[in-house]
Structure 1
Amino acid sequence: MKSILVSVLFLFAANLLAQEAGKSGELLKNEASKTEIGSVNTKRSDSKKNNNSSGFRNQDNNGFRTNNSQYQWNKEYGYSEVFLRIPEQGFFSVEIGDQFISNNSGKFRFFDLPAGRIPVSIYESGYLLYRTTLNVRNNSRLVLDFFTDKGLFLLDSYPVQGQSYGFDSWNDVWNNPYGNNGGLNYPNVMDNQTFQQFMDTMKNRAWFDDKKMEFINQQGRHAMFTSKQISILVKDLSFDKNKLALAKLLFSKCVDKQNYFLVYDSFDFESSRKELMEYISKL
């Protein structure tokens, strides 16, 4: 009887933590008209015999490379990425700007996109389902989920530094916005070496508390911290009032709040510790 109860509680907890279509992200409006939805994509073909895998951007109707001797070496026109997932069975195609990807894996990753407003169209077996416009920023990665019955959701936007991926698993890109990290692989948390580099940079650029807090706040827009990292950041400040303000600010950015007691030792005065404890207890 006890084992059955434990199993039921486990399944109940799993359902609470499970992802749900439309649970996270900003719904992007479908700009395709009713007459366009379900129409065949005349510009592209999803059939295998006509599928283009050559990598060339400019082709004529016969699929051959057009003559073009105007070479462009190391052209700089911005760098952005769009990662789009379709967690449903089927053969889908996604077109973003001049890039087109078809597969049945449900994962579509676009690189080397220019910044600005870029049209995106989604097809199933060659028939248009959805069309909208993405506002892509330079050196950023947009992460989206698409559901045929709900629409396209913008989950989050992340900075891309040096065109690096910045994650351990492809699935983490889409799963982390739902909070499904299992408490093991924290999203957007710097490793020890990167965090030390961050501290060194802050100390070189910001000597006073206000500048340090500004630097940390800017980084915190796109990153999460562990309790130990927050403790180090708070302890680096000179005055307790600033330490308290920073500790309160970073609590929402902490990935292991159960260990936030580590931050208490960063204060010089007991009154500051008590105030932080009271602040957290009311959240």
Structure 2
Amino acid sequence: MKKIFTVCAILSGLLFFAQEAGKAGELLKNEASKREMESSTLQRESSRNNNSGNSGFRNPNNQNNQNRRPTNPNYQWNQNYGYAEVFLRIPELGYFSVELADQMIANNSGRYRFFDLPSGRIPISIYDNGYLIYRTTLNVRNNSRMVLDFFTNEGLYLLDSYPLQNGYYGFNNWNDLWNNPYGNSGNNGSVNYPNVMDHLTFQQFMSAMKKDAWFDDKKIAFINQQGRHAMFTSEQIAVLVKDLSFDKNKIALAKSLFSKCVDKQKYFVVGDALDFESSRKDLLDFISKN
């Protein structure tokens, strides 16, 4: 009986924390027409060649001349047309193809990772066994990574978009990219969240702040300016808060950084950096409402 109860408890927990289509992210409108969705991959080639929206990508519209070697190839060395990444997951079984800018990936693994993308508005099309089922336009920013989920019955969801830092991936497990927006991870708590400061970077951040800012107002301005594209752990926020001199400034910073914390379940450690019990209660009240 005890074993049955344990199994039921585990299954209930898995169902409670399971990801669900449409539970997270922003739904992106399907722009594919019914006529396009009824056309196969082969039938769409002529229309794709005439699509002026691809004029800014690397692939020229010369499909009829692909088998002929050009007399004077137009080489482009060290072309700098922006850099961005798009990571798409399709968690359903099947063979899907995804076309983004001038790149296409087809597999049955459910993971589609696009690198070296230009910035700007880029069309994305999704095919199921050669048939178009979804099309929309992504607004891709330079030096950024977009993370998306696609469900055939729900649509395409933008889960997250954040800047890239020095080519650092910022995760230990590929699944964390998609799991984190849902509030769960596959690393049992040992997640290296995207764009969070590692220990060395945080120490450098603290050293720079203490060098350039002496007073609370300067420190807060430094944190808000230099850390606007970064995420922090609760322990790091506690260090930043504790470094301030006045408790009113500490509580203000603790509240403002709550949205940039990657492990909000441990935010109670930030309360220990406050000087007064009333301030700790104020912070707890703030957390309970957010």
Task: Give the TM-score range, shorter chain.
Answer: 0.7 to 0.9
Match in the other structure for 1:40: 40
Match in the other structure for 2:236: 229
Displacement of 1:281: 5.8
Contact conserved, 1:227 with 1:257, CA < 8 A, in 2? yes
- SS of residue in 2 equivalent to 1:111: strand
- What are the residue-to-residue correspondences of 1:115-194 with 2, within 5 Å? 115-181=119-185, 182-188=188-194, 189-194=196-201
Contact conserved, 2:125 with 2:134, CA < 8 A, in 1? yes
Contact conserved, 2:92 with 2:110, CA < 8 A, in 1? yes
Letter in 1 for 2:163: P
Letter in 1 for 2:202: F
Output one character per residue of 1:120-151: Cα deviation in whole Å (capped at 9) or x when no partner: 11111111111110000111111111111111
- SS of residue in 2 equivalent to 1:170: coil
Displacement of 1:227: 2.6
TM-score calculated relative to the size of structure 1: 0.85
The change in CA–CA distance for 1:193 and 1:262 in structure 2 (over 3 A counts) is same
The change in CA–CA distance for 1:208 and 1:73 in structure 2 (over 3 A counts) is farther
In 1: Cα distance, 2:68 partner to 2:92 partner: 34
In 1: Cα distance, 2:206 partner to 2:248 partner: 21
Displacement of 1:70: 2.8
Contact conserved, 2:28 with 2:158, CA < 8 A, in 1? yes
- Structure 1 unaligned spans of 5+: 45-55
Contact conserved, 1:30 with 1:130, CA < 8 A, in 2? yes
Match in the other structure for 1:21: 21
Letter in 1 for 2:100: I
Match in the other structure for 2:5: 5
In 2: Cα distance, 1:265 partner to 1:214 partner: 23
Aligned Cα root-mean-square deviation (Å): 2.6
In 1: Cα distance, 2:101 partner to 2:215 partner: 46
Q: How many residues align?
A: 272
Match in the other structure for 1:53: none
Q: Is residue 273 of structure 2 the alignment partner of residue 263 of structure 1? A: no
In 2: Cα distance, 1:220 partner to 1:8 partner: 44
Match in the other structure for 1:106: 110
Q: In the alignment, which of 214, 222, 244 is matched to residue 251 of structure 2? A: 244
Match in the other structure for 1:64: 67
Output one character per residue of 1:99-135: Cα deviation in whole Å (capped at 9) or x when no partner: 1111111111111111110001111111111111000
In 1: Cα distance, 2:189 partner to 2:239 partner: 21
Output one character per residue of 1:184-206: Cα deviation in whole Å (capped at 9) or x when no partner: 31523322112212223333444
Displacement of 1:80: 0.7
Match in the other structure for 2:210: 203
Displacement of 1:157: 0.1
- SS of residue in 2 equivalent to 1:141: strand
In 1: Cα distance, 2:263 partner to 2:167 partner: 28
